Amino acid sequence: MTLMPRINLFLFVLALVSCGNQLPKRPLIQFTFETKTLEEVLSENVVWSKAHEMKYHFGYWKPSVWVKFEITNAKEERKDYILELESPWVDEVLIGWLSKGKIIKRTFNGSSSFSEREIPHRSPIYKLTLEPFETRTIYAYIKNSGILNAPFRIWEINSFFDRIERDYIANGVYFGIIFALLLYNLLIYISVREKAYIYYCFYLATLMINYLLLGGFFKQLLVPDLELSIKPYLYVSVNLSLMFVGLYSLTFLDLKKINPLLDRVILLSVVCFAFMALLSFLLPYNWMEVSFIYSFPYMFLVLMSAGAYSYLKGVKSSSFFLLAWFTLFIGVIFDSLTKAALIPFSTFGRYGVQIGTAFEVILFSLALGRRLRFLLEENLISKNELTTIKKDLETARKIQMRILPNKLPQNLKLTMEVSYLPLYDIGGDFYDFFEFSDGFGLVIADVTGHGVSAALDSSTVKIAFRNAKEYKESPSELVAAMNRFLCTSLHARFVTVAYFYLDLVKMKLHFSSAGSPPFLIIRNREIESFECPGLLLGVRSNFEYEEKIVPLQEGDRLVIFTDGLYENLKPGADFASILYPEILPIVDLSQNEFHQKLLDRLSKMRQNAKDDITLISLDLH
């Protein structure tokens, strides 16, 4: 069954149960707050207020009240009546009257088990039999922690049980709607894992528990043999309802993005309601009830404001959110005015809260459905965009691979192994080389940053390197030429670079560096590092770079790398203390095995890669 037929069925049932007998008027009552026994009250040694039909609410701070009123049988035959106190949550009730000079008394204890009640009904009720034309004065002592009231009604037997049947149908439909929506949205949550749905499900669950407790159904239907007071559980449930509806609203309205201040206000309120729920077993019940009188309107105003702001900022599904709170507010107002007899009795007045909350949860569900549709549409758009991005990245990766050498150098005096491991699909590291008859030139560079932008700038580094080919035998001049070019070509980005010229006739290595890490030479199972300080490329166009010379021998192995190889492996440790212990055990391996083993050993130390990695090894023969 879809949502709209549920609404129509709910309204039809409520219209049906409203037909027939109307609620009887409340009796005219007098009251006193004097502490007396029933015998003292029956002796009329009490100062009573004037008879008042409207006065049955006595506030939150009085512990108990005595009331008296009259019941009259205007018929010529004996007649049975039901006296109902519409307070399922009341603590204690004592009613009494005089009958043929004897004191008759009946009691009610809200904490006792439901099965002990004389008449199994969710509210305190008493059966009275009146003789023809008899008028009986009823005295009632009501004790309650929390709201103190005396909402008595006097029913004829048939009218009472007819009304019970109609009430059970209406409440059954109401709980059915809540339960169906709970299961429906729980299944959606299992499918999509959207947090708003689970918060909404918790809200529905606590809302259902609220009305089971508030209406007296909890004891009657679920724990009839258990002796307990429902009040602390009611206050826990009410505060949890406000907490979950706050969490639902935060997620649904996406306030963290559009209004962080409102987000923090609601989040703080949610924490306060959670705290109040924990205190429900400790604080006096009248304090809890008074706190709810203020917290509900406060939460209503805050969430209505948040919904309106979200709607104005373009979250169109917020319209359902606003309408949901508005229907609940109207339902609560009509229910309260009807109970206070300030407006004529009507179906909407009798079931105002149920109708309001039913519409609220249905509209919340519609809002979630609309939000889910938007999320699915956005997800589809995002998937399409992601597919496009992946295609672009693949194209960029292919382009970058083309700017890197497509083969290793073909030189009888040296062999070269290279591993290029970008952090993402493409990276900012770069290497290239020159081959000529008597020597070999190698450049390794690292553009600051990662990803596409760094990769694009690495192509500029290649251009700078190729343009400086005339200086291939002079590392300092080549690096300086690259620097002049990059100072005019890069914006807010810098490059570390090292260039190595290997004179294979004189067996000397000339090198110059601009911020690159040291390189290593492994000779006779010993490791030595070399560096040449220099300013990063792209900072100052007239910077002069130093050049150093290192003698070479046949059998030397040069290990050249970018800083991604060793950074973030051991906090506070320098590159030597990290790399030397990993290199020494594998110095005797062949070049290919050495290269792969070194990467594997360092990879085991690395929890998460945070930079591009380039590793080059050169073996001299």
**What is the three-class DSSP state of 130?**
strand
The closest alpha carbon to 70, from 111, 27, 118, 102, belongs to 27
- The answer to whether residue 9 is domain-embedded is no
**Residue 313 pLDDT exceeds 70:** yes
Residue 392's pLDDT is 64
Residue 93's pLDDT is 93
Model confidence pLDDT, tens digit, residues 194-241: 888 888 889 889 988 888 888 888 888 888 888 888 888 888 988 998
Average pLDDT of span 359-377? 73
- Please tell me the distance from the alpha carbon of residue 222 to that of residue 399, in angstroms, as a whole number: 70
Under a CB-based contact definition with an 8 Å cutoff, are residues 103 and 39 in contact? Answer: yes
pLDDT averaged over every residue in the chain: 83
Average pLDDT of span 56-74? 88
CA 593 vs CA 238, 354, 560: distances in Å: 68, 76, 16
Q: Parallel, antiparallel, or unpaired: how do β-strands 613-620 and 557-561 relate?
A: antiparallel
Residue 169's pLDDT is 85
Model confidence pLDDT, tens digit, residues 331-355: 767 666 665 555 565 555 556 667 7
Q: Parallel, antiparallel, or unpaired: how do β-strands 519-523 and 557-561 relate?
A: antiparallel
Which residue type occupies 189?
Y
CATH code of the domain covering residue 76: 2.60.40.2380
Number of structural domains in the chain = 2
Under a CB-based contact definition with an 8 Å cutoff, are residues 322 and 287 in contact? Answer: no
- The answer to whether residue 352 is domain-embedded is no
Residue where a domain stops, chosen among 122, 138, 159 = 159
Model confidence pLDDT, tens digit, residues 8-18: 444 444 444 44
Structure-derived torsion over alpha carbons of residues 557, 558, 559, 563, reported in degrees to the nearest 10: 170
* Selected residue with higher pLDDT from 554 and 454: 554
Average pLDDT of span 255-284? 88
Residue 337's pLDDT is 61
The total of other beta-carbon atoms located within 10 Å of residue 435's CB is: 12
For residue 422, the Cα-to-chain-centroid distance in whole angstroms is 35
Residue 363: pLDDT band (50, 70, 90) is confident
Tracing tokens 């306030």 back to the chain, one arrives at 255
Residue where a domain stops, chosen among 159, 194, 229 = 159
- Please tell me the distance from the alpha carbon of residue 157 to that of residue 127, in angstroms, as a whole number: 9
3-state SS, one letter per residue, for 464-528: HHHHCHHHCCCHHHHHHHHHHHHHHHCCCCCEEEEEEEEECCCCEEEEEEEECCCEEEEECCEEE
Under a CB-based contact definition with an 8 Å cutoff, are residues 448 and 437 in contact? Answer: no
CA 104 vs CA 77, 84, 140, 393, 563: distances in Å: 22, 17, 12, 90, 95
Residue 21's pLDDT is 46
Model confidence pLDDT, tens digit, residues 489-537: 887 778 999 999 999 999 999 999 998 999 999 999 899 999 998 999 9
- Please tell me the distance from the alpha carbon of residue 132 to that of residue 525, in angstroms, as a whole number: 121
Which residue type occupies 272?
C
- Please tell me the distance from the alpha carbon of residue 324 to that of residue 559, in angstroms, as a whole number: 69
Model confidence pLDDT, tens digit, residues 104-152: 999 998 888 888 887 888 889 999 999 999 999 999 999 998 888 888 9
Average pLDDT of span 281-302? 82
Under a CB-based contact definition with an 8 Å cutoff, are residues 511 and 548 in contact? Answer: yes
Residue 248: pLDDT band (50, 70, 90) is confident
Residue where a domain stops, chosen among 129, 159, 189 = 159
What domain range is 413 assigned to?
Answer: 404-620
**Residue 4 pLDDT exceeds 60:** no
**Residue 6 pLDDT exceeds 80:** no
- Please tell me the distance from the alpha carbon of residue 71 to that of residue 77, in angstroms, as a whole number: 15
- The answer to whether residue 16 is domain-embedded is no
Percentage of residues in the chain with pLDDT exceeding 90? 25
Residue 244's pLDDT is 92
- The answer to whether residue 53 is domain-embedded is yes
CA 241 vs CA 53, 181, 236, 245, 510: distances in Å: 35, 16, 9, 6, 75
* Selected residue with higher pLDDT from 53 and 28: 28
Under a CB-based contact definition with an 8 Å cutoff, are residues 537 and 493 in contact? Answer: no
- The answer to whether residue 57 is domain-embedded is yes
- The answer to whether residue 311 is domain-embedded is no
For residue 222, the Cα-to-chain-centroid distance in whole angstroms is 32
**Residue 419 pLDDT exceeds 70:** yes
Under a CB-based contact definition with an 8 Å cutoff, are residues 396 and 455 in contact? Answer: yes
Average pLDDT of span 77-83? 91
Residue 79's pLDDT is 92
Model confidence pLDDT, tens digit, residues 579-611: 999 999 999 999 999 999 998 888 888 777 778
Q: Which contacts qualify for 56-61: CB closer than 8 Å, 24 or more apart?
A: 56/26, 56/29, 56/149, 56/150, 56/151, 56/152, 57/147, 57/148, 57/149, 57/340, 58/31, 58/33, 58/148, 58/149, 58/150, 59/147, 59/148, 60/146, 60/147, 60/148, 60/286, 60/289, 60/290, 61/286
Residues near 536 by beta carbon (within 8 Å), at least 6 away in sequence: 494, 495, 496, 514, 515
- The answer to whether residue 370 is domain-embedded is no
CATH code of the domain covering residue 577: 3.60.40.10
Nearest 5°: the CA angle 228, 229, 232 is 120
**Residue 402 pLDDT exceeds 80:** no
Residue 192's pLDDT is 75
Average pLDDT of span 431-440? 87
- What is the DSSP track for 234-264? HHHHHHHHHHHHHHHHHHHHTHHHH-HHHHH
Residue 359: pLDDT band (50, 70, 90) is confident
**Residue 474 pLDDT exceeds 80:** yes
* Selected residue with higher pLDDT from 20 and 303: 303
**What is the three-class DSSP state of 548?**
strand
- The answer to whether residue 489 is domain-embedded is yes
Residue 479's pLDDT is 93
Helices assigned H by DSSP within 193-317: 195-214, 217, 231-253, 255-258, 260-279, 285-312
The total of other beta-carbon atoms located within 10 Å of residue 459's CB is: 16
Average pLDDT of span 387-411? 73
**Residue 322 pLDDT exceeds 70:** yes
Tracing tokens 């010229």 back to the chain, one arrives at 501
Average pLDDT of span 47-72? 83
Tracing tokens 């090198």 back to the chain, one arrives at 511
Structure-derived torsion over alpha carbons of residues 60, 61, 66, 68, reported in degrees to the nearest 10: -40
